[in-house]
Structures are given as structure tokens and as C-alpha cells.
Amino acid sequence: MDPYVILTCRTQEQRSSVASGQGSEPQWNESFVFTVSDGASELNLKIMDKDTFTKDDFVGEATVPLDPLFTEGSLPPTAYSVVKDGEYCGEIRVGLTFTPERSSSRECCEEEQNYGGWKESSYQD
């Protein structure tokens, strides 16, 4: 098996490299960046098997809920169930990090003060 993963978050899609010759226990150790906005609640992982002369085979898929990530900021590698045709067929481990984008368009009159190297702002979430 020569697996790869198609990662989808709403309308954004990215693809891992093909883990050639790694069989049923591939490791990718790759990073992907998605821009998420309100309403993004899950990351879909579609695992495929790369074939040379025929259409790539669908191996299974997993869904990663993003709400815990937004709350915690990062999640260690966690196992998610891989399902095909409604049946459990294994798991995939994924670690995630959420980095909020710094907004430069907050309040136009926002006061910022510096205290001994610490920067404080009157803006509150």
C-alpha cells in the first residue's frame, strides 16, 4: 500500500506526500496550514492508496473536531477512527496547533501601554 492523505477544512484542500512502501503503518510528519474562520468545526482526512495504472483506492476517512483545538490552542498526537462504508478500519494519529491571526483592524482608538517589557492592551476578547 502507498497511502497519502487528502486534508479538507471547509473549502480548503491539501494533500500529503505518498508514503511509498510504508504499508499499513505510514508516518508523514508533515505540516499543513489552513486559514480557518467562524463556522469551521472539523478537519476531514481522506486516506487514499496511490495506484500507478488504475484509479487511486479509497482506504477510509476520519473526522477531527476542531472545537477542542480552538479551546486548548494545541492538541498532542491523538488517534482518530478511520471509517470506510460505516465500518471501523483503523486509526490515524494527528497532532494539531491553532495559531490565532493577529488582527490589525481592532479598535481605531485602542490604547496600548508598555510596562517593563510587557505590552498591555485595552482590547479584550
> DSSP characters for 22-38?
-TTS------------T
> What pTM was estimated for this model as a whole?
0.78
For residues 64-78, give the mean pLDDT.
Answer: 93
- Hey, what domains does the chain have and what are their CATH numbers? 3-101 (2.60.40.150)
Residues with Cβ within 8 Å of residue 122, at least 6 apart in sequence: 110, 111, 112
Q: Look over the chain and give the mean of its residue pLDDT values, rounded to a whole number.
A: 85
Residues with Cβ within 8 Å of residue 52, at least 6 apart in sequence: none
Q: What is the dihedral of CA 64, 35, 29, 74, to 10 degrees?
A: -60
Per-residue pLDDT for 93 more than 60? yes
Per-residue pLDDT for 23 more than 70? yes
Per-residue pLDDT for 110 more than 60? no
Per-residue pLDDT for 122 more than 70? no
The pLDDT-based confidence of 100 (bands split at 50, 70, 90) is confident
The pLDDT-based confidence of 37 (bands split at 50, 70, 90) is confident
At residue 119, the pLDDT reads 46
For residues 63-87, give the mean pLDDT.
Answer: 95
At residue 104, the pLDDT reads 55
